[in-house]
Amino acid sequence: MDVEPTATDEPTEPEFFDSLFRKRKKNGEWKIVETPDLGVLAVDAHCHLQYQKNPGLALARAGLHGVGFMCTVVDVYEDGTTTYDSLSKWNHEAALSMQRLFSRC
């Protein structure tokens, strides 16, 4: 997959619309990262949804992989109220994404 460089010459992360998690390798390719199946609901007690390219998709992926609760962290000096103002929208996008992703599993 071709990725256009940013001003810092770092490749931008493409948006993969699936339930998989990926990590960029040193050669610029993307490797699928396996997620553990814990058999119970998990908690992400420290995440930064506001830094995700697509927070709704990130929430949907987490839900599909058994994360039942997420606590997003906000720095009021850096983020202001952006995260709080966006949560309802992100939750709605996550619900729509989850339906689309689940139908592809």
Q: How far is CA 83 from CA 54, 68, 76, in A?
A: 13, 19, 10
Mind listing the pLDDT tens digit for each residue in 60-102?
999 988 999 999 988 878 777 888 899 999 999 999 998 888 7
Mind listing the pLDDT tens digit for each residue in 7-50?
455 556 788 898 888 899 999 899 999 988 888 999 999 999 99
Mind listing the pLDDT tens digit for each residue in 33-43?
998 888 899 99
Check if the beta carbon of residue 61 is closer than 8 Å to that of residue 25. no
Measured CA to CA, the distance from residue 24 to residue 35 in angstroms comes to 16
In this prediction, residue 9 carries a pLDDT of: 52
